[in-house]
């Protein structure tokens, strides 16, 4: 499969306007022949869009007929280490989804009209990236569905402070892929309860013995291979959920 194309995502319509201190962020776009959907992919707090886990995941998703758009948040673009606050991260997510719709339209697969295009556009993210996608969707970002790759339900060791207030309001299909040994989701039954409160549009797939990076103790695998191993479940979930798009 050919390398993803590099592009820029403009973050604001007004000339000179900044989001998180920058006017645009870098992105990587890959579109297989006869793509039937687009999956926008965001990185976790401590990595970027070029991390091998996300690269392996994106390449495997493309092999199953789904275009991918990976992007960096503004803080990565600006060279900062600390993640953006939610308003900047949500604004970046909105811009990324808008760009994905425009790319689908350019490929003849929908109209970039500010609503979900004829080609389904889904939002996914590793940890922080997925949480910010869910917050953007709760605030009205139009996507066909959400995929959480290791949702950070709470800080490690602090289950009494869950980050779940917005989740029950989500109306689109949402898939949680989570490691049983992920310290951001221990005890496991806490996330089980959250998914139950979201309702039938949500699904949770536990991966036995996996940690927050989906690594399994005693089973050494490259990060790209670990990411790629998640693609089949994600694409199967996308195919099984009809949308209004």
pTM, rounded to two decimals? 0.94
- Helix boundaries (H) for the chain: 52-63, 74-77, 86-106, 128-138, 188-198, 223-228, 231-240
Token digits of residue 133: 């996608």
What confidence score (pLDDT) does residue 180 get?
98
Q: How far apart are CA 18 and CA 24, in angstroms?
A: 8
Query: How confident is the model over 194-211, as pLDDT tens digits?
Result: 999 999 999 999 999 999
- Mean pLDDT of all residues in 232-236: 98
Hey, CA dihedral for 65, 66, 67, 68, is it positive or negative? negative
> 41 and 58 in contact (C-beta within 8 Å)?
yes
DSSP 150: S
Q: How far apart are CA 219 and CA 229, in angstroms?
A: 14
Q: How far apart are CA 223 and CA 51, in angstroms?
A: 8
pLDDT exceeds cutoff 80 at 243: no
What confidence score (pLDDT) does residue 189 get?
98
Query: How confident is the model over 118-151, as pLDDT tens digits?
Result: 799 999 999 999 999 999 999 999 999 999 999 9
Token digits of residue 245: 């798009």
Query: How confident is the model over 23-56, as pLDDT tens digits?
Result: 999 999 999 999 999 999 999 999 999 999 999 9
Which pairs with CB-CB distance under 8 Å and at least 24 residues apart come from 102-105? 103/29, 103/31, 103/38, 103/67, 103/69, 104/38, 104/67
Query: How confident is the model over 57-114, as pLDDT tens digits?
Result: 999 999 999 999 999 999 999 999 999 999 999 999 999 999 999 999 998 765 444 4
Token digits of residue 106: 């350019």
What confidence score (pLDDT) does residue 14 get?
79
């Amino acid at each position: 499969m050919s390398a993803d194309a590099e592009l820029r995502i403009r973050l604001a319509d007004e000339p000179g306007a900044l989001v998180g201190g920058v006017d645009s962020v870098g992105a990587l776009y890959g579109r297989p022949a006869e793509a039937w959907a687009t999956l926008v992919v965001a990185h976790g707090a401590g990595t970027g869009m070029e991390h091998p886990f996300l690269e392996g995941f994106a390449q495997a998703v493309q092999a199953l007929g789904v275009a991918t758009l990976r992007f960096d948040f503004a803080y990565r673009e600006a060279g900062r280490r600390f993640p953006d606050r939610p308003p900047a991260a949500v604004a970046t997510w909105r811009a990324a989804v808008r760009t994905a719709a425009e790319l689908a339209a350019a490929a003849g697969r929908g109209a970039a009209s500010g609503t979900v295009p004829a080609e389904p556009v889904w939002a996914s993210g590793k940890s922080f990236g997925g949480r910010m996608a869910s917050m953007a969707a709760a605030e009205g970002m139009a996507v066909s569905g959400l995929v959480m790759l290791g949702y950070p339900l709470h800080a490690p060791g602090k289950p009494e402070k869950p980050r779940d207030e917005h989740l029950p309001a989500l109306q689109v299909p949402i898939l949680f892929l989570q490691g049983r040994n992920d310290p951001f989701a221990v005890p496991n039954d806490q996330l089980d309860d959250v998914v139950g409160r979201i309702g039938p549009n949500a699904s949770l797939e536990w991966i036995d013995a996996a940690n927050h990076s989906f690594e399994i103790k005693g089973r050494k695998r490259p990060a790209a291979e670990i990411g790629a191993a998640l693609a089949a479940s994600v694409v199967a979930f996308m195919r099984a959920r009809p949308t209004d798009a």
